[in-house]
Structure 1
Amino acid sequence: MGKRSMAAMTAALAAGSLLMGVPDAGAHASQQGTAGSSPPARSLLAPGIDLDTVTIPELQARMKDGSLTASTLTRAYLRRIEHVDPRIHSVLRTSPTALRQAAASDARHRRGKTLGPLDGIPVLLKDNVNTRSMPTTAGSLALAGSPPGTDAVLVTRLRKAGAVILGKTNLSEWANFRAAKPTSGWSAVGGQTHNPYVLDRNPCGSSAGSAAALAASLSQVAIGTETDGSIVCPAGMNGVVGHKPSLGLVSQSGVVPISAEQDTAGPMARNVIDTALTLSVLSEGRDSRGENTAAAPQGSSLRGKRIGLWRLPSLGPEVDAVMTRTAKKLRQAGAVVVEVTPPYQARLAELEFPALLSEFHRDIDAYLGTREGPRDLAELIEFNRSHPAEQTCFAGQELFEQALASPSTTDPEYRAMRAELKDLSRRSIDETMVSHRLDAIAAPTNPPAWTTDCARGDNDVIPSSTPAAVAGYPSLSVPAGYVGELPVGLLLMAGDRQDAELLSLGSAVEQRLKAWRAPRYLSTWR
């Protein structure tokens, strides 16, 4: 698949977004002024442009006809960060060059020399992605000194595409790979990020700030990272879209690691078209065979699509009821929905964590060697012991200590574990899809958001993300519905390098479900 097929897919999705209005603006309007703590003022940018609902193709059309500038758009998001973010604590810092970047984009638009669909579009980066002009901390005071000397490869790609790097988002410190019972969305650098739907509820996963910022309309798109669940769970729990790409599709160079065998950065947005357009910029674009994998010419119809529904009743009857309603809507749109249970899940759960411990020790030592501060994991452990601010929500660093004592990745026992993980995770998806002739497997992304509690930690045993995360296959979370005030996502997964097909299917699902609605920033709920 070459550039023409990539253009065909993104053009098809863009047309759908312009014609069908993704997300559902009517749902947003119905939420304004309802009971509870008052939401911020509506995010109107200009007549006919609402930041909550506008898509990248719509913004680019406005910039092309001169009725909008990138500078105006960037200022609007900076104002929203200033006025809204104090309630949710999702943005650590804004870029001092954001308006300069936007002005450069405006000059290109005036000359008719734009650099692609992200030219002039504000993007927030999770703060484990290296930026030469801003600190990159992974949420830890240990990295809060000098910025990295260079951008991550994915940031270079965004800059070359004309995107406006708006700032950095808070995250679960060290991507939730420090304590045995962490609290998602907390870091020593940024404090606790709150879920915009209900402020005392948790935003989930390590890309917490990226998802919460999008839910609050503080940027057009954001970048998250995932080892297992840290893009898709925050997306689901904050009512936005998150795509975990196939492993290797997006460069991990310059991203704070957990495991090279599972880590990937990926795009997050309020709708699928913006997610797909961002992936087209982030993506390396070619697999080992030299084939383009970022996009494919797929339609946005559900008719005849076969979807396997993995119900996961362990997430509770309220989530299962959302899945029942979702299956009914998909069937009404012409999809065939069959119930499935991917095999080998217990064995994957048994093996994944020990393998990640060994990989983290190897990969974090390599990364720390490129930065000022602790030079390896042993020094990082000592830093945390000597800095009380690192212990203000939870004191533990059990995962660090276990990783330090774990077998090397050259150890035969470790190698056998990782080989079995790769085999069983891929078979769990491949065999399920082949036996039922599926286009995708679907599952609930998340339970309703739990109450944030530093003493208790997370309540986050969420198995749906594991098969695709361990296999290195793509997964995509789209809003599916609500349990009361709390969003629930639908997680779609497919085979290796089927990212484009999955995004096209996700667009059709999004159009059918129309589940998105703006948050109300309630202080608490039931």
Structure 2
Amino acid sequence: MNTTTGSYALVGSVVGRDAGVVEKLWKVWAVILGKASLSEWYSFGALGKIPNGWCPRGGQAQNPYVASGDPCGSSSGSAISVAANMVSVSLGSETHGSILCPSDYNPVVGFKPTVGLTSRAGVIPISSRQDTIGPIARTVSDAVYLLDEIVGFDSRDSEATSEAAKFIPDGGYKQFLNKDGIRGKRLGVVRHPFLDYLNRSIVSTFGSHLDILRARGATIVDDLEIANIDIISDPARSGELMLMLAEFKSSINEYLKELAISPVRSLADIIDFHQNNPELEKLQEYGQHTFIESEKTSGIGEKETKAVEYLEKLSQDGFEKLMTDYKLDALVAPGISLSMTVLAIGGYPGITVPAGYHSNGMPSGICFGGLKGTEPKLIELAFAFEQATRLRKPPFSESFDITGDFLFGTV
């Protein structure tokens, strides 16, 4: 099947073999129904301009809860297909919020693993530092069963997967589906900037969720601060964007060269395709400014190496120090704010769980994030919260006339 990131530029391309995570799923007899739509080129072609969930091949993805609602991205279709009961589980990829955001908005369980816990081989890349593949499901248990089947070493992604393999527990992750998993946990709350721009009702609902966590045995350490959080939250100031531009060009060129057949073989070819086919590719209309800036880069040089070191220092002096100093098991936050900044640049894991609905019907989730390899703790927290609240409801809208019981299956 064509792997195109929603773009006509890669229609007709032929991959040499299945992605590493897909090979693992075949081995456990998963029934793979197809490929989901997504925000074209992960929204990376024209950052800030491409509508969430829009791509030329699939059109505009629609939130199954609110017809005019934001489906988020980039793994829009993966989350929607699960939310609308089209499939039992799906996979998404995340570089900067692309699993956790659509899962939060649709609403389903999205699990972003530690970078390297799952193989990226065969997946169209952006950044080897930040790219990760993770489960999307209607329940935490389904997500965890899927995670168990896709983690592990892959020789085609050897450096990352060999490093992360040390985190995989004997007996897998299913053993951490513990209804009493909140008890004894120390959870941190960082209000600035994660709660600064949320309306009062969301903040109030989050306060109720904190009360639930306390009632089930968690210690909440509130009003914490992450050092340099304003810099971390700004990809331009932190150097994340500059580094991703260089990483994308080198990684996408390498990916295209390895294809058995492809109409494009470089980022320059992709830019030309958009310019020459405006009737197919609205990305030309949006300006594809990110692609053009990426094409101007010259690989990982001294400037980029310093940017990597700076991002690592920001993570070490910020998130990691906070977690260590306060002996925290996880940070907890409403929505996607935590996933879009802190978890992204450090390659840290996070999981979002449905946690309610806004007055207009739009869903909202709660996110638990932790240090690398802390998936067991995050699973315990997410599962126990889900079992205590059961806030997810089936969708019903004019466009997705879905009623009746949901099918809760596992791979």
Q: TM-score, normalized by length of structure 1?
A: 0.68
Tell whether the 8 Å contact from 1:197 to 1:522 is kept in structure 2 after alignment.
no
Tell whether the 8 Å contact from 1:407 to 1:414 is kept in structure 2 after alignment.
no
In the alignment, what sits opposite 1:429? 319
CA distance in 1, matches of 2:81, 2:151: 23
- Name which of 207, 215, 238 aligns with 1:332: 215
1:314 has 2:204 as partner: no
Structure ranking higher on relative contact order (CA contacts 8 Å, 6+ apart)? 2
1:160 has 2:27 as partner: yes
Q: Which has the higher mean CA deviation after the structures are superposed, 323-332 or 294-303?
A: 294-303
In the alignment, what sits opposite 1:269? 137
Tell whether the 8 Å contact from 1:445 to 1:465 is kept in structure 2 after alignment.
no
- Name which of 371, 377, 394 aligns with 1:518: 394
- Compute the displacement of 1:523 (Å): 7.1
- Compute the displacement of 1:463 (Å): 5.3
- Compute the displacement of 1:174 (Å): 0.6
Tell whether the 8 Å contact from 1:287 to 1:293 is kept in structure 2 after alignment.
no
- Name which of 179, 197, 200 aligns with 1:300: 179
CA deviations on 1:433-468 (whole Å, 9 max, x unpaired) are 12222111011224xxxxxxxxxxxxxxx4543211
The number of residues matched between the two structures is 375
In the alignment, what sits opposite 1:418? 308
Q: Which has the larger Rg?
A: 1
- Name which of 348, 356, 379 aligns with 2:269: 379
- Compute the displacement of 1:347 (Å): 2.4
One-letter amino acid of the structure 1 residue matched with residue 294 of structure 2? A
Tell whether the 8 Å contact from 1:443 to 1:464 is kept in structure 2 after alignment.
no
Cα gap change, 1:387 to 1:167, in 2 (>3 Å): same
Cα gap change, 1:393 to 1:408, in 2 (>3 Å): closer
CA distance in 2, matches of 1:370, 1:425: 33
- Compute the displacement of 1:345 (Å): 2.2
- Compute the displacement of 1:143 (Å): 0.9
CA distance in 1, matches of 2:389, 2:227: 28
CA distance in 1, matches of 2:363, 2:225: 24
In the alignment, what sits opposite 2:287? 396
Tell whether the 8 Å contact from 2:72 to 2:101 is kept in structure 1 after alignment.
yes
In the alignment, what sits opposite 1:201? 69
- Name which of 343, 349, 352 aligns with 1:477: 352
Tell whether the 8 Å contact from 2:116 to 2:163 is kept in structure 1 after alignment.
no
- Compute the displacement of 1:292 (Å): 5.2
Tell whether the 8 Å contact from 2:52 to 2:74 is kept in structure 1 after alignment.
yes
Tell whether the 8 Å contact from 2:113 to 2:349 is kept in structure 1 after alignment.
yes
Cα gap change, 1:310 to 1:464, in 2 (>3 Å): farther
Q: What is the Cα-based RMSD across aligned positions, in Å?
A: 2.0
* 3-state DSSP of counterpart to 1:501: helix
One-letter amino acid of the structure 2 residue matched with residue 306 of structure 1? R
Which ranges of structure 1 fall in alignment gaps of 5 or more residues? 1-133, 447-461
In the alignment, what sits opposite 2:108? 240
Q: Which has the higher mean CA deviation after the structures are superposed, 253-262 or 363-372?
A: 363-372
- Compute the displacement of 1:361 (Å): 0.8
In the alignment, what sits opposite 2:78? 210
One-letter amino acid of the structure 2 residue matched with residue 474 of structure 1? P
- Name which of 479, 486, 490 aligns with 2:366: 490
Cα gap change, 1:509 to 1:217, in 2 (>3 Å): same
CA distance in 2, matches of 1:434, 1:171: 37
1:249 has 2:86 as partner: no
One-letter amino acid of the structure 2 residue matched with residue 415 of structure 1? T
CA distance in 2, matches of 1:241, 1:394: 34
CA deviations on 1:306-365 (whole Å, 9 max, x unpaired) are 111233223422322221121111112221112223222222222211111111111111
Cα gap change, 1:289 to 1:178, in 2 (>3 Å): closer
Tell whether the 8 Å contact from 2:115 to 2:164 is kept in structure 1 after alignment.
no
- Compute the displacement of 1:429 (Å): 2.1
CA distance in 2, matches of 1:161, 1:373: 34
Alignment of 1:112-127 (within 5 A): none
Tell whether the 8 Å contact from 1:186 to 1:193 is kept in structure 2 after alignment.
yes
In the alignment, what sits opposite 1:406? 297
* 3-state DSSP of counterpart to 1:406: coil
Cα gap change, 1:271 to 1:426, in 2 (>3 Å): farther
Tell whether the 8 Å contact from 1:136 to 1:143 is kept in structure 2 after alignment.
yes
CA distance in 1, matches of 2:313, 2:118: 22
CA distance in 2, matches of 1:303, 1:504: 9
In the alignment, what sits opposite 1:288? 163
1:192 has 2:60 as partner: yes
* 3-state DSSP of counterpart to 1:137: coil
CA deviations on 1:115-165 (whole Å, 9 max, x unpaired) are xxxxxxxxxxxxxxxxxxx11111000111143231011110000111011
One-letter amino acid of the structure 2 residue matched with residue 481 of structure 1? G
Tell whether the 8 Å contact from 1:293 to 1:498 is kept in structure 2 after alignment.
no
Tell whether the 8 Å contact from 1:225 to 1:263 is kept in structure 2 after alignment.
yes
- Compute the displacement of 1:407 (Å): 4.4
One-letter amino acid of the structure 1 residue matched with residue 188 of structure 2? G
In the alignment, what sits opposite 1:127? none
In the alignment, what sits opposite 2:246? 358
Tell whether the 8 Å contact from 2:114 to 2:164 is kept in structure 1 after alignment.
no
In the alignment, what sits opposite 1:136? 3
One-letter amino acid of the structure 2 residue matched with residue 309 of structure 1? V
Tell whether the 8 Å contact from 2:113 to 2:134 is kept in structure 1 after alignment.
yes
1:502 has 2:378 as partner: yes
CA distance in 2, matches of 1:149, 1:287: 23
CA deviations on 1:196-238 (whole Å, 9 max, x unpaired) are 0001111102000001111101100000000010000000011
CA distance in 2, matches of 1:470, 1:341: 17
CA distance in 2, matches of 1:244, 1:290: 16
Tell whether the 8 Å contact from 1:322 to 1:482 is kept in structure 2 after alignment.
no
CA distance in 1, matches of 2:168, 2:341: 22
Which ranges of structure 2 fall in alignment gaps of 5 or more residues? 154-160, 401-411
Tell whether the 8 Å contact from 2:89 to 2:136 is kept in structure 1 after alignment.
yes
Tell whether the 8 Å contact from 2:16 to 2:258 is kept in structure 1 after alignment.
no
1:347 has 2:238 as partner: no
